[in-house]
């Protein structure tokens, strides 16, 4: 009996199913048509979400991956279809999001001839992926998919691109599933040096003012419990990076808030007062460190990270601890002494009080005037009992949402961190609803970011995606306007926005919507949004020239935070 031969496209479908894929975000086209034809016979096992733009497919795959812990998959055609994914791929790379992008390509015989919709996708994406590979033979499909999924999810996660030549899609091969769990010269979980553990334990035990930075690596490594065990035994206060905010419950007594340019006052100031600084799964981004020449110079730095290239890249490290923090944190916890740092932790209180009086109370509890972004975020957060998934766009809406949204559960924040991609929110929120369908997804965006990927409202309409869209409309590109106000003498060069009527746009997409201008209407509108089954667009007209504070101005030390401007 001869073995069955199937097409490369069918081999792709079977490989995706074998590796546990159930949801794909994509957009068809000529060079990927054989794959979409094969997909037709797998509907039911593979759920394909038709987006309205390929950038939306990648961001949706990112949102899916971030909340589910699984690999996001998207499927696009060649040429402009492939190049439309570049922003999302770069975003996934810098934010360590595991996705696999499968793109059509012209047949192998036409490569290099400038054929219709041919582009060197492998060459373009090699600098912004963990692996980029061109499949030229049907017999290589199962191997390439297995390798792609292993690379995307292992070690420091990230994006992988498979460039699928059309001849390989139509040629036949004998299919057998493939597993990959080893690649020569690729070490996804480097060995941890016992001497480094011993030295870190010594520093932690001797520390009088230890401080820990919680990065997204805690979420990616599923080390949330291991983190809590460690900080509770050693009684170490923490600050969270933007992407690490939901790794530790907001109300945990050792969680002192957000780090960075628009973070909380206490964690930023105390970074430059601690004697031991422990960084877990974070990369010392410039928005966290401020002026590097003055960043934590008084402290001994212990850095736990799975990626050796991050160790010492920006900040000098005294003790590097390589490996997945789910494995390395318990090595420390087992050996450190139980301690109390009561006086040191109480030192945060005066900064918390100052920030509350000068910033938070005015932003969240204004007595009069236009609505503030912060009070809208706070109201939605309270109405969802701090249990919703927060998805944000980029800009003032992002900083306000991340400052005033609170988290009880892990994997509850989806935002574009390192790339700062405007337009990220709407498609990422769509992906998040498929990645965690049992949870409420609240998507905060500005009027600028929404209009960059607004076509994805068509995906919301078609799929009846139950996402709650909160548009904080200030008729400006708010973050740029704030910088123009503070550093460019209020010369508002091309930041005022002439906006469309979002209520009419929502109606055109058959999405229930409501506009709020007066404070007295806010609570009722939020209730209506949350009680409405399916999608809802809540437009809140907020103060036009509001500012996100505190703020560390660019080029300043992390503890030089402005509380007013």
Give residue 410's pLDDT.
Answer: 98
> Average pLDDT of 495-500?
98
Q: Is the dihedral of CA 341, 344, 350, 356 positive or negative?
A: negative
Q: Mind listing the pLDDT tens digit for each residue in 523-551? A: 999 999 999 999 999 999 999 999 999 99
Q: Mind listing the pLDDT tens digit for each residue in 515-524? A: 999 999 999 9
Tokens of 212: 């820990």
How many angstroms from the chain centroid is the CA of residue 336? Answer: 32
Tokens of 159: 């994006």
Q: How far apart are CA 323 and CA 317, in angstroms?
A: 15
Which 8-state DSSP code applies to residue 363?
A: H
Tokens of 133: 């590979």
Give residue 180's pLDDT.
Answer: 98
Q: In this structure, are residues 99 and 428 in contact, taking their beta carbons and an 8 Å threshold?
A: no
Tokens of 290: 């401020």
Q: Mind listing the pLDDT tens digit for each residue in 117-151? A: 999 999 999 999 999 999 999 999 999 999 999 99
Instruction: Count how many Cα atoms sit within 13 Å of the Cα of residue 222 in the half-sphere of its side chain.
Output: 7
> Average pLDDT of 324-347?
98
* Closest of 69, 142, 79 to residue 105, by C-alpha: 79
> Average pLDDT of 284-290?
97
Residue 260: is its pLDDT beyond 50?
A: yes
Q: Percentage of the chain with pLDDT > 70?
A: 100
Burial of 508 (0-12, 13-18, 19+ CB in 10 A): exposed
SS3 114: coil
Q: Mind listing the pLDDT tens digit for each residue in 343-353? A: 999 999 999 99
Give residue 4's pLDDT.
Answer: 87
Give residue 223's pLDDT.
Answer: 98
The residue behind tokens 């998919």 is 145
Give residue 565's pLDDT.
Answer: 84
Q: How far apart are CA 288 and CA 90, in angstroms?
A: 20
Residue 3: is its pLDDT beyond 70?
A: yes
SS3 487: helix
Q: In this structure, are residues 66 and 97 in contact, taking their beta carbons and an 8 Å threshold?
A: yes
Identify any residues that bridge with 25 across adjacent strands, giving them in sequence order: 49, 74
> Average pLDDT of 464-470?
98
Helical segments of 347-492, H only: 348-355, 361-364, 373-383, 396-404, 425-435, 447-452, 457-463, 478-487
Residue 2: is its pLDDT beyond 70?
A: no
> Average pLDDT of 394-403?
98
Q: How far apart are CA 332 and CA 340, in angstroms?
A: 17
CB atoms within 10 A of CB 186: 13
Q: How far apart are CA 324 and CA 327, in angstroms?
A: 6
Q: pLDDT-derived band of residue 510, with 50, 70 and 90 as boundaries?
A: very high
Give residue 207's pLDDT.
Answer: 98
Q: Mind listing the pLDDT tens digit for each residue in 84-96? A: 999 999 999 999 9
Q: pLDDT-derived band of residue 1, with 50, 70 and 90 as boundaries?
A: very low
Q: Percentage of the chain with pLDDT > 90?
A: 99
Q: Is the pTM of this model over 0.85?
A: yes
Sheet of 389-392: strand order equals 413-414, 389-392, 441-446, 468-473, 536-541, 513-516
Q: How far apart are CA 400 and CA 411, in angstroms?
A: 19
How many angstroms from the chain centroid is the CA of residue 304? Answer: 20
Residue 192: is its pLDDT beyond 90?
A: yes
Residue 419: is its pLDDT beyond 70?
A: yes
Give residue 236's pLDDT.
Answer: 98
SS3 239: strand
> Average pLDDT of 465-487?
98
Residue 39: is its pLDDT beyond 70?
A: yes
Tokens of 24: 């794909």
């Amino acid at each position: 009996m001869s073995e069955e031969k199937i097409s490369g496209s069918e081999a792709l479908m079977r490989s995706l199913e074998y590796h546990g894929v159930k949801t794909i975000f994509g957009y068809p086209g000529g060079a990927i048509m054989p794959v979409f034809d094969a997909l037709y016979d797998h509907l039911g096992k593979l759920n394909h979400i038709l987006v309205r733009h390929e950038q939306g497919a990648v961001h949706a795959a990112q949102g899916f991956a971030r909340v589910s812990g699984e690999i996001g998959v998207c499927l696009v055609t060649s040429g402009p279809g492939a190049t439309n994914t570049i922003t999302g791929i770069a975003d996934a790379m810098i934010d360590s999001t595991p996705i696999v992008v499968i793109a059509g390509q012209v047949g192998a015989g036409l490569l290099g001839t400038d054929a219709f919709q041919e582009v060197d996708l492998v060459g373009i994406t090699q600098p912004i992926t963990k692996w980029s590979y061109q499949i030229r033979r049907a017999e290589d499909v199962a191997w390439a998919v297995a390798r792609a999924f292993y690379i995307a999810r292992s070690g420091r996660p990230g994006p992988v691109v498979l460039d699928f030549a059309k001849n390989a899609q139509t040629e036949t091969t004998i299919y057998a599933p493939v597993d990959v769990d080893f690649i020569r010269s690729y070490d996804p979980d480097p060995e941890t040096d016992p001497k480094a553990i011993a030295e870190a334990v010594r520093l932690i035990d001797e520390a009088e003012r230890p401080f820990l930075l919680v990065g997204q690596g805690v979420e990616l490594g599923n080390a949330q419990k291991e983190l809590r065990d460690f900080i509770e035994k050693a009684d170490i206060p923490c600050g969270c990076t933007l992407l690490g905010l939901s790794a530790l419950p907001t109300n945990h007594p050792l969680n002192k808030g957000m780090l960075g340019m628009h973070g909380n006052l206490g964690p930023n100031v105390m970074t430059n007062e601690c004697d031991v600084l422990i960084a877990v799964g974070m990369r010392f981004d410039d928005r966290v460190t401020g002026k590097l020449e003055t960043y934590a110079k008084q402290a001994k730095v212990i850095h736990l990270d799975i990626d050796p290239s991050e160790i010492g890249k920006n900040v000098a490290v005294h003790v590097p601890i390589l490996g997945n923090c789910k494995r390395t944190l318990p090595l420390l916890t087992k050996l450190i002494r139980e301690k109390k740092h009561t006086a040191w932790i109480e030192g945060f209180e005066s900064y918390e009080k100052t920030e509350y009086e000068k910033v938070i109370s005015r932003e969240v509890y204004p007595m009069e005037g236009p609505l503030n972004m912060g009070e809208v975020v706070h109201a939605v957060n309270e109405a969802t009992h701090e249990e919703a998934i927060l998805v944000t766009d980029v800009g003032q809406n992002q900083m306000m949402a991340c400052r005033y949204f609170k988290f009880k559960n892990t994997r509850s924040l989806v935002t574009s961190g390192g790339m700062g991609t405007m337009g990220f929110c709407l498609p990422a929120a769509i992906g998040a609803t498929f990645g965690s369908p049992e949870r409420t997804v609240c998507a905060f965006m500005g009027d600028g970011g929404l209009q960059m990927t607004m076509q994805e409202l068509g995906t919301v309409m078609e799929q009846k995606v139950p996402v709650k869209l909160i548009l904080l409309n200030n008729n400006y590109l708010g973050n740029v306007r704030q910088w123009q106000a503070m550093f460019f003498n209020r010369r508002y060069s091309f930041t005022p926005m002439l906006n469309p009527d979002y209520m009419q746009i929502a109606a055109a997409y058959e999405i229930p919507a409501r506009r709020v201008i007066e404070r007295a209407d806010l609570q009722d509108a939020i209730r209506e949004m949350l009680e409405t089954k399916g999608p809802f667009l809540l437009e809140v007209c907020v103060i036009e020239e509001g500012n996100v504070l505190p703020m560390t101005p660019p080029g300043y030390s992390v503890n030089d935070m402005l509380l007013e401007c």
